[in-house]
């Protein structure tokens, strides 16, 4: 995809079944993105390089997902000025609590916007909102999306009543 505005990174390709929901959300809003495996533990130098170069390459936000000892979002946030959205990926044990706590408990001064365990779709939508803050057309699309959500909720309620 040319000129990506959002970088989706994950610790392993095994995270993709969860992380692809972020890509789908960005695609719905036609936001260009890139998706890569950048492991904090298995390729630390490359991970730091990715974070350092992200802003100058034109990215405007990073979505980082990892499971277990999930250090990727926080480490990226420590080397980039861009907003970093962390996605806790649930693994076989501990229901993703390990990943959630690894990502959410950042020290003051190094923020990571953490979504729910497995919440990659919301990570994608949050990235859209970040971009929409300075993009009127994108903001209008987000408002339409929100109106549609409300209409769907009403329709479901109406089904219960009939």
CA 161 vs. chain centroid, Å, equals 37
The Cα–Cα gap between 77 and 135 comes to: 24
Q: Report whether 12 belongs to an annotated binding site.
A: yes
Region from 9-17, 21-29, 43-51, 106-114 binding ligand RP5, contact rule CB under 6 A? 9-17
The Cα–Cα gap between 12 and 6 comes to: 18
Q: How many CB atoms lie within 10 A of CB 70?
A: 29
Q: Report whether 15 belongs to an annotated binding site.
A: yes
Q: Are 112 and 77 in contact (CB under 8 A)?
A: yes
Q: Report whether 27 belongs to an annotated binding site.
A: no
Give the neighbor-by-neighbor strand order of the sheet with 84-89. 33-37, 6-10, 61-67, 84-89, 113-114
Number of residues interacting with ligand RP5: please give it, by CB under 6 A. 12
Region from 7-15, 73-81, 115-123, 153-161 binding ligand RP5, contact rule CB under 6 A? 7-15
Residue 102 in the binding site for ligand RP5 (CB under 6 A): no
Binds ligand RP5 by CB under 6 A, chosen from 4, 7, 67, 96: 67
Q: Are 132 and 101 in contact (CB under 8 A)?
A: no
Residue 15 in the binding site for ligand RP5 (CB under 6 A): yes
Residue 96 in the binding site for ligand RP5 (CB under 6 A): no
Question: Nearest approach, Cβ of 26 to ligand RP5 (angstroms)?
Answer: 20
Give me the residues that bind ligand RP5 (CB under 6 A), please. 10-12, 14-15, 39, 41, 66-68, 89, 91
- Name the binding residues for substrate: 12, 15, 42
């Amino acid at each position: 995809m040319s000129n990506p505005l959002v970088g989706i990174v994950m610790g392993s390709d095994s995270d993709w079944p969860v992380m692809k929901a972020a890509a789908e959300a960005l695609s719905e809003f036609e936001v260009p993105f890139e998706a890569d495996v950048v492991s904090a533990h298995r390729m630390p130098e490359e991970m730091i390089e990715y974070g350092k170069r992200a802003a100058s390459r034109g990215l405007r936000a990073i979505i980082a997902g990892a499971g277990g000892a999930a250090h990727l979002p926080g480490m990226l946030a420590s080397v980039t000025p861009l907003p970093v959205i962390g996605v806790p990926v649930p693994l076989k044990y501990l229901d993703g609590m390990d990943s959630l706590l690894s990502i959410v408990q950042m020290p003051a001064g190094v923020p990571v916007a953490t979504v729910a365990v497995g919440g990659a779709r919301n990570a994608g939508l949050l990235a859209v909102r970040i971009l929409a803050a300075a993009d009127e057309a994108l903001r209008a699309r987000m408002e339409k999306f929100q109106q549609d959500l409300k209409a769907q909720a009403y329709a479901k309620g109406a089904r219960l009543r009939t």
